[in-house]
Structure 1
Amino acid sequence: MNPKMNEKVTNIAQFVVLLIFGILLMIPFLWMVSVGFDRTANITLPFPPRLIPEEVASFNYKIVFENGRLVQSYLNSAIVTISSVLLQVFASLLAGYAFSKGTFKYKKLLFLLVLCTLMIPMEPRLIPLYTLFNKVDLLNTFWPLILPTVINGMLIFLCKQFFDQLPSTLREAAQIDGAGEFRIFFTVYLPLAGPIAATMVILSFIWSWNDFMWPLVVLSDQDLHTVPLYLSSFALENGTSLAGLTMALATVSILPIIVLYLFLQRYIIQSIALSGVKGE
């Protein structure tokens, strides 16, 4: 067998294996969508599980979209998520550029401290953060959900690695023209950071939209509940008695993430491709 034929067979085998694993990963999601379209699932959860409901109906989704509390939770999640994403991505781009191209004292030590924050899980920070926001009287507001997310060690690390791949000669040329650091960042490097910014938007959006533990601690007013909190409370109140409606709610809750990813996926692929470009 010639090398071209070997390569073709290998590519087909890889595609088949990836397709099988992709289908296996999609089965739980497809089952969730299927139960949402199954009107009888509100009486009893179908067993054994089936991907095609016996009676397909949009009844559950009509109730979901007519639910005022869901609409309010969507608005709450949108406010928190959009604010967190904008602040987090902008701060990470600035910090990543500073750690990559900047020259200041203790730069390596400060970057090491940033990386050390990645080893601290959320659980040990709950009590200190709760105490802090309680003292400044910001509990039961959106501020505790937005402010702590502005500085994110993982996103800063990704930004630094991305800016490390861009040529430093761009900065030197701009400095010769008399540009300051902020002008260099906004006019030279920021326009090139679209791919990594799109990747950070996706990650930040997922983290903020799906956040459950911290909002549960700081939000006591139901009118301020985000989508995960509302979905959790609905599931606890009804259990499996309204499984179809619960699954419809779960499907609707993840739609923003899917839509955002479909719009930004090409930029994410581009950021991965650019990570192999070495700048001097």
Structure 2
Amino acid sequence: MNSSMSVKTMHRISEIFKFLVLLIFGVILMAPFIWMVSVGFDRTANITMPFPPRLIPEEPSSFNYGIVFENGRLIQSYINSTIVTVSSVVLSVSSSLLAGYAFSKGKFKGKKILFFIVLCTLMIPMEPRLIPLYTLFNSVGLLNTFWPLILPSIISGMLIFLCKQFFDQLPDTLREAAQIDGAGEFKIFFRVYLPLAGPIAATMIILSFIWSWNDFMWPLVVLNNIDLHTVPLYLASFSQENGSSLGGLTMALATVSILPIIILYLFLQRYIIQSIALSGVKGE
């Protein structure tokens, strides 16, 4: 009896310790974000940044955020980022679902070689691809348009890999039963497997959205027209123009710029753990 009680006590102490450790690390990770939001509510930060940093401003004010939401250039950059990001997400997620299903359930020559090539693209960073991509889009006259930001996202090695791993966990008997009923490959995909792909689709939407919304280097290279600037480019130009001044306004702009990512994550967060569990690599 005492032994079982001691085991339960030790287990409870262990769980409390784990919770406290995770809580401490969570607070540490969230502190910069909380400080950023706090400085946005500090009107005096436009004159001089508070030092030492404080998480709660002495005189909270919505002045900075009021200016932010009246900023025409920010609104235009929001519209530009929304057009680019939504288009990129739709194209990348759709193509990755189809490619992942083909690599997982399809039977065709060269499948392993093609999938190996897809995986090899994960090892190529963006920097070596800048010049070839720039040359390509310059040759077809698409610079200073949204197309260079949208078209490269159609093929994403990481998303294809995640889709393949997810579809590998789904039984082949579903496909075989649909084939017996006379269904073709597209009908099998859209009627049988796609309805089951909600968790991985939600995860891919989040990842693709973050990649596209936060992209800075590639838009900086291909967009010279200020009217086409996305949110990261606008933030960079605003910070460059104002230097270390207007710190409160800069932090308010940064906070507003990441709101779409936070909102999307809050709506789709329940799918993340489920998709990670289902798309894990098999030990085969």
Q: Which TM-score tier does this pair reach, normalised by the shorter chain?
A: over 0.9
Cα distance in structure 2, aligned partners of 1:2 and 1:170: 49
Code of the residue aligned with 1:149 in structure 2: it is: S
Cα distance in structure 1, aligned partners of 2:279 and 2:215: 29
* Residue 190 (str. 1) matches residue 177 (str. 2): no
Q: Which of 221, 232, 237 pairs up with 2:236?
A: 232
State how many pairs are aligned.
278
TM-score in terms of structure 2 length: 0.96
State the match for 1:274 in structure 2: 278
CA contact (8 A) 1:41 1:243 kept: yes
Residue range with higher mean Cα deviation, 62-71 or 3-12: 3-12
* Residue 116 (str. 1) matches residue 104 (str. 2): no
1:118-167 deviation line (CA, Å, top 9, x unaligned): 00000000000000000000000000000001100000000000000000
Q: Pairwise mapping of residues 232-251 of structure 1 onto structure 2 (< 5 A)? A: 232-251=236-255
* Residue 206 (str. 1) matches residue 221 (str. 2): no
1:156-195 deviation line (CA, Å, top 9, x unaligned): 0000000000000000000011101000000000000000
State the match for 1:254 in structure 2: 258
Cα distance in structure 1, aligned partners of 2:234 and 2:165: 38
Cα distance in structure 2, aligned partners of 1:57 and 1:48: 19
Q: Which of 114, 125, 129 pairs up with 2:129?
A: 125
CA contact (8 A) 1:32 1:248 kept: yes
Cα distance in structure 1, aligned partners of 2:177 and 2:128: 46
- CA 1:277/1:236 → structure 2, altered by over 3 Å: closer, same or farther? closer
Q: Which of 89, 98, 101 pairs up with 2:105?
A: 101
Code of the residue aligned with 2:253 in structure 1: it is: L
CA contact (8 A) 1:165 1:277 kept: no
Deviation at 1:239, TM superposition (A): 1.3
State the match for 2:49 in structure 1: 45
TM-score in terms of structure 1 length: 0.97
Deviation at 1:54, TM superposition (A): 1.4
Deviation at 1:267, TM superposition (A): 1.4
Cα distance in structure 2, aligned partners of 1:96 and 1:275: 11
Deviation at 1:277, TM superposition (A): 11
Q: Per the alignment, in what secondary structure is the counterpart of residue 197 of structure 2?
A: helix
* Residue 60 (str. 1) matches residue 59 (str. 2): no
Code of the residue aligned with 2:220 in structure 1: it is: L
CA contact (8 A) 2:89 2:209 kept: yes
Cα distance in structure 2, aligned partners of 1:138 and 1:185: 34
CA contact (8 A) 1:80 1:146 kept: yes
* Residue 19 (str. 1) matches residue 10 (str. 2): no
CA contact (8 A) 2:40 2:249 kept: yes
Q: Which of 144, 151, 161 pairs up with 2:155?
A: 151
Q: Pairwise mapping of residues 165-180 of structure 1 onto structure 2 (< 5 A)? A: 165-180=169-184
CA contact (8 A) 1:166 1:277 kept: no
Code of the residue aligned with 1:121 in structure 2: it is: P
Deviation at 1:274, TM superposition (A): 3.1
Q: Pairwise mapping of residues 62-77 of structure 1 onto structure 2 (< 5 A)? A: 62-77=66-81
State the match for 2:166 in structure 1: 162
Deviation at 1:275, TM superposition (A): 4.0
* Residue 3 (str. 1) matches residue 3 (str. 2): no
CA contact (8 A) 1:35 1:244 kept: yes
Cα distance in structure 2, aligned partners of 1:253 and 1:28: 15
